[in-house]
Amino acid sequence: MTHEQASKRTYIIMLLVPLFWGASFPLAKHVTTEIPPLTAATLRFGLAGIILIVITSLRTQVKWRQVKRQLKSLLAMSIVGIFGYNALFFFALTKTSAINGSLIIATTPVFLALGAILFFGERQNKNLLISLPLSLIGVLLVISKGSPMMLIQLDVNYGDLLFIGALACWTSHGLFGKAIMEDVSPLVTTTFTTVVGSLFLFIFAAVFENSWSLILHMSLQAWIEMIFMVIFSSVIAFFLWNDGIHKIGASISGMYLNLNPVNTALISVVLYGSYITGVQIFGMILVLMSVYFVTVYDQSKKRK
């Protein structure tokens, strides 16, 4: 397989990341009606960590010298990306609205792109100048349902500040990953950060919730949703995300995150009977166009 073919394949496979992460929102919403949020996060990433350990043991030879060299960065990536992001996210939702939080987190691609350019010297993709504002407008339309009042009435509060912290954590997670995976493979990076992050989540959940017995009483639907999140939203999606950052860069990989609310909306409508407006559909089209500009269109221009 040529480098160009491998790059094209990565662009296509990366579409699975926002699909699996987008699906996790409505699934997690139901799961957390049966067990507390941090307990759910611990169960999700704890099981994912076990699976990743098995896969890593069977598929690759861990280069411990490289892991040791990047140990501090790997620990930082685990704390900010798995533990920090999820802890801040769930606590923020108790203090502010999901709309506020979604708007804040939706800006992640902007900061990933800027961080990659400023700190790692990534080539500035000119199409980002078109795709970034286009995607942000699309995300705003999807989340706000086209109502200006939803945006005008947003008030910054303690929960919003926590979401800004979550945004900083997720952006840092992506930038740490880019640096680390110069030495450590995406699979080993994903395994290490998932396992260590889940340990921190376990401690946090034990202190603030201590509701482990509720796991035994989860319904069949909740277990099916949890298994999907473990295998697809955690194991596969996190590996593909780290692999994408390694192969095509943090700025372009970050653009795929704009598809999260699109997929969340579609899955919520199909599986959970949620309602979607024409304005939201228009917003989704803008988001899809933004990803096209920075990936497919950019690659077609290079081949000419």
pLDDT tens series, the chain, 304 aa: 555 555 678 888 998 998 998 888 788 888 888 999 899 999 999 999 999 999 999 887 788 888 999 999 999 999 999 999 988 877 776 677 665 666 677 677 778 777 877 777 766 666 667 777 877 787 777 777 677 776 666 555 677 788 888 889 988 988 888 889 888 988 899 999 999 999 999 999 999 899 999 999 999 999 999 999 999 999 999 899 888 888 888 777 877 877 777 777 778 778 877 777 787 778 778 877 777 776 655 555 555 5
Could you tell me the residue range of the domain that residue 144 belongs to?
A: 23-303
H or E, element range at 35 = none
Confirm whether 34 is domain-assigned. Answer: yes
How far is it, in rounded angstroms, from Cα 258 to Cα 98?
16
**CB-based contact 98:274 (threshold 8 Å):** no
Confirm whether 5 is domain-assigned. Answer: no
Confirm whether 16 is domain-assigned. Answer: no
Confirm whether 45 is domain-assigned. Answer: yes
Q: Measured at the alpha carbon of residue 272, what is the angle toward residues 267 and 275, in degrees to the nearest 5?
A: 80
Confirm whether 17 is domain-assigned. Answer: no
Instruction: Give how far Cα 165 sits from Cα of 16, 94, 158, 183, 192, Å.
Output: 26, 15, 11, 28, 23
Confirm whether 2 is domain-assigned. Answer: no
How far is it, in rounded angstroms, from Cα 135 to Cα 151?
16
Confirm whether 51 is domain-assigned. Answer: yes
How many CB atoms within 10 Å of residue 154? 16
- Written as one letter, the residue type at 251 is S
What total of structural domains would you count in the chain? 1
User: SS3 of 54, please?
Assistant: helix
Confirm whether 184 is domain-assigned. Answer: yes
How far is it, in rounded angstroms, from Cα 80 to Cα 289?
31
